[in-house]
């Protein structure tokens, strides 16, 4: 395993950088309106094609948390972690058919604007602040940290902070051009991401094949992995019993078997893809047909993502088990970068380019969303109500720079403990504290005309409080097992001492919080008018789909069904 880069690696990476930078600059110069038009700067209104929307969704979604975090969970738990990607494909179908028509019909450009239009300014302001904090201190920081860790692991391991700054500057250059530049450069980014990711997976499987004496055959390597680690190719974990090992319990805590499909898995995906400024922003400036096609194209691409981001992690596990791979500190988050160390000259540069593409596109999209929410939903409404278009665009750019600086400060020495949690789990768990309340507000706000603003506030508070309660206190207060949940023992370091603590799988916590939040919101709304004056006007025609859209939906579902039948 070689961590040194040669001239071919640098050349491949520089070609990638020059291609993205020059194309982004060309798009920027071609669309000069983006300098002063807020809708164009923040939304690329009307200019993104369906393939640009779909590519941008994937490029923004697949980042360090997948390449590093999901690959790490592949190393730890196996193919079960693919549920996040494959259920996302179904979630995107739901978003395309039912959510996007509501947004576009009501001219919704930001998620806080949705809440203001449907409920009131109080709900919108609370959630704007929530989203800004979440995007900066959970998403932005984790992308920066995990991305720097991944690329640093490919070289000599001594340039973490330099790489972190480089990623921030690269993403800044793209983000300052606005959503149009982000969206169209993401087409290149996702191409590099997929090509480089597939090359890495192919060579990871080839290394496994060679290790088992089967020659340089990727298919033979995959077959060897199936035989050597069958437990890593099981989608549904069994519920732990009295004789279950601690390792299997730890896996179940992250991916709680069939129960997660009736609980948090849907909440994670519907909230992320349907109620998330960072994601929905790409489609909000398009017409309905273009937006739907782009979203469904992204859903189809999601079926491929576990091949790129998860299989290398399982390959790393097989090699590690047989003593052919060393992980820095034994951390699962180093699995992907450890596998990249096997790549030959040139291909290592391509893989670094793929990682960089994933990280930079996600960073650019994230800071643009932070900028959009701050400028349109905080600055314009509460700080400078008379701000003109040009002032708002420059305020948005300033917000981009500030967000990146804050992200760097908090990731410089991993002040948030991202590495100790495991990158992917860290993001899912802490995002999950507000997901149940947010999803309940959006679902009831869209499709139940009786939902009130008071119910929205009550739901937001209930969802957050219950998530914290079930995650942190329920086993001590309500016991380790009851009709709602089962808590399991795990080991944590408390005040320097290794201690056994009881924990409920966080996806189950999210499901319980969502259930009770819905009950609270319905109960509060029943005390209001039968039809809220702010309810959206819906009609069946909004949700009809064309035959071409239906064909894409059916193709996605058939492939997904086959995958679950194979690996159940």
Model pLDDT, residue 34: 44
Rounded Cα gap, residues 256 and 237, in angstroms: 7
Phi/psi for 501 (5° steps) reads -125, 160
- Confidence check: pLDDT of 137 > 80: yes
Three-state DSSP class for residue 422: coil
- Confidence check: pLDDT of 375 > 90: no
- Confidence check: pLDDT of 355 > 80: no
- Taking residues 365-379, report their average pLDDT: 83
- Confidence check: pLDDT of 160 > 60: yes
- Confidence check: pLDDT of 44 > 60: no
Please tell me which residue, 261 or 362, carries the higher pLDDT value: 261
Rounded Cα gap, residues 548 and 158, in angstroms: 51
Neighbours of 470 (CB within 10 A): 25
- Taking residues 35-46, report their average pLDDT: 55
Scan for tokens 């860790």, then name that residue: 149
Rounded Cα gap, residues 531 and 227, in angstroms: 59
- Maximum C-alpha span of the chain: 72
Q: Percent of the chain, pLDDT > 70?
A: 87
- Confidence check: pLDDT of 453 > 60: yes
- Confidence check: pLDDT of 460 > 70: yes
Domain 7-417 CATH assignment equals 2.60.40.1930 = no
- Confidence check: pLDDT of 507 > 50: yes
Tell me the CA distances in angstroms from 5 to 64, 170, 205, 273, 327, one per residue in order.
21, 20, 22, 37, 19
Model pLDDT, residue 495: 64
Q: Percent of the chain, pLDDT > 90?
A: 15
Burial classification of residue 409, based on how many CB atoms lie within 10 Å of its CB (0-12 exposed, 13-18 middle, 19 or more buried): exposed
Model pLDDT, residue 417: 64
Model pLDDT, residue 42: 58
- Confidence check: pLDDT of 462 > 90: yes
Model pLDDT, residue 470: 92
Model pLDDT, residue 378: 85
pTM to 2 decimal places:
0.82
Rounded Cα gap, residues 436 and 271, in angstroms: 8
Model pLDDT, residue 95: 92
Do 437 and 462 touch, CB atoms closer than 8 A?
yes
Out of 175-189, 214-228, 331-345, give the one with best mean pLDDT. 214-228
- Confidence check: pLDDT of 304 > 90: no
pLDDT, the chain, mean:
82
Burial classification of residue 393, based on how many CB atoms lie within 10 Å of its CB (0-12 exposed, 13-18 middle, 19 or more buried): buried
Lowest mean pLDDT: which of 43-57, 252-266, 309-323, 388-402? 43-57
- Confidence check: pLDDT of 428 > 70: no
Burial classification of residue 120, based on how many CB atoms lie within 10 Å of its CB (0-12 exposed, 13-18 middle, 19 or more buried): middle
Query: Residue 49 corresponds to which tokens in the numbers above?
Result: 């094609």
CATH 1.20.1730.10, the chain: domain bounds: 7-417
Per the DSSP assignment, residues forming a β-bridge with 333 are none
Tell me the CA distances in angstroms from 373 to 52, 109, 246, 274, one per residue in order.
22, 10, 43, 16
Cα 253 from chain centre: 20
Out of 4-8, 351-355, 400-404, give the one with best mean pLDDT. 400-404
- Confidence check: pLDDT of 35 > 50: no
Tell me the CA distances in angstroms from 316 to 208, 322, 341, one per residue in order.
9, 10, 11
Model pLDDT, residue 156: 63
């Amino acid at each position: 395993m070689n961590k040194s880069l040669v001239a071919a690696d640098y050349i491949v990476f520089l070609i990638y950088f020059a291609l993205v930078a020059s194309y982004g600059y060309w798009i920027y110069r071609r669309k000069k309106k983006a300098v002063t038009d807020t809708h164009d700067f923040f939304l690329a209104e009307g200019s993104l094609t369906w393939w640009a929307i779909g590519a941008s969704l994937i490029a923004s979604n697949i980042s360090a948390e997948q390449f590093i975090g999901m690959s790490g969970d592949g190393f730890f738990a196996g193919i079960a972690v693919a549920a996040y990607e494959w259920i996302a494909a179904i979630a995107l179908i739901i978003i395309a058919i039912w959510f996007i028509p509501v947004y576009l019909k009501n001219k919704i450009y930001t998620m806080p604007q949705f809440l203001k239009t449907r409920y009131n300014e109080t709900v919108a302001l609370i959630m704007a602040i929530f989203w800004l904090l979440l995007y900066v201190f959970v998403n932005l920081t984790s992308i920066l940290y995990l991305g720097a860790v991944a690329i640093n692991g490919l070289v000599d391991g001594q340039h973490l902070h330099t790489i972190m700054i480089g990623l921030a500057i690269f993403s800044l250059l793209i983000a300052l051009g606005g959503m149009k530049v982000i969206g169209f450069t993401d087409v290149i980014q996702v191409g590099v991401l997929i090509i480089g990711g597939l090359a890495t997976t192919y060579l990871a499987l080839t290394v496994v094949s060679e290790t088992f004496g089967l020659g340089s055959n990727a298919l033979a390597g995959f077959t060897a992995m199936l035989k050597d680690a069958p437990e890593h190719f099981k989608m549904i974990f069994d519920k732990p019993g009295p004789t279950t090992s601690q390792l299997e319990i730890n896996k179940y805590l992250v991916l709680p078997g069939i129960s997660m499909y009736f609980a948090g898995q849907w909440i994670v995906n519907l909230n992320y893809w349907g109620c998330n400024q960072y994601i929905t922003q790409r489609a909000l400036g398009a017409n309905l047909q273009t937006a739907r096609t782009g979203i469904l194209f992204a859903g189809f691409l999601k079926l491929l993502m576990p091949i790129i981001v998860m299989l290398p992690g399982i390959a790393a596990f097989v090699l590690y088990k047989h003593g052919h791979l060393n992980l820095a500190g034994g951390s699962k988050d180093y699995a992907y970068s450890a596998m990249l160390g096997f790549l030959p000259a040139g291909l290592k540069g391509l893989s670094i380019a793929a990682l960089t593409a994933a990280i930079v596109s996600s960073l650019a999209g994230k800071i643009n969303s932070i900028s959009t929410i701050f400028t349109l939903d905080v600055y314009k409404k509460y700080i400078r109500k008379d701000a003109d278009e040009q002032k708002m665009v420059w305020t948005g750019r300033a917000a981009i720079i500030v967000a990146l600086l804050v992200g760097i400060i908090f990731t410089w020495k991993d002040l948030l403990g991202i590495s100790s949690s495991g990158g992917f789990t860290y993001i899912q768990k802490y995002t999950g504290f507000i997901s149940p309340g947010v999803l309940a507000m959006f679902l009831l706000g869209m499709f139940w005309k009786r939902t009130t603003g008071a119910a929205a506030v009550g739901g937001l508070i209930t969802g957050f409080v219950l998530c914290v309660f079930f995650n942190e206190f329920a086993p001590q207060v309500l016991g380790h097992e009851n009709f709602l949940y089962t808590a399991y023992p795990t080991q944590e370091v408390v005040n320097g001492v290794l201690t056994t603590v009881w924990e409920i799988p966080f996806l189950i916590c999210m499901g319980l919080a969502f259930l009770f939040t819905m009950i609270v919101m319905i109960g509060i709304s029943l005390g209001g008018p039968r039809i809220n004056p702010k309810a959206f006007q819906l009609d069946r025609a909004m949700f009809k789909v064309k035959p071409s859209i239906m064909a894409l939906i059916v193709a996605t579902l058939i492939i997904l069904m086959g995958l679950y039948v194979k690996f159940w």
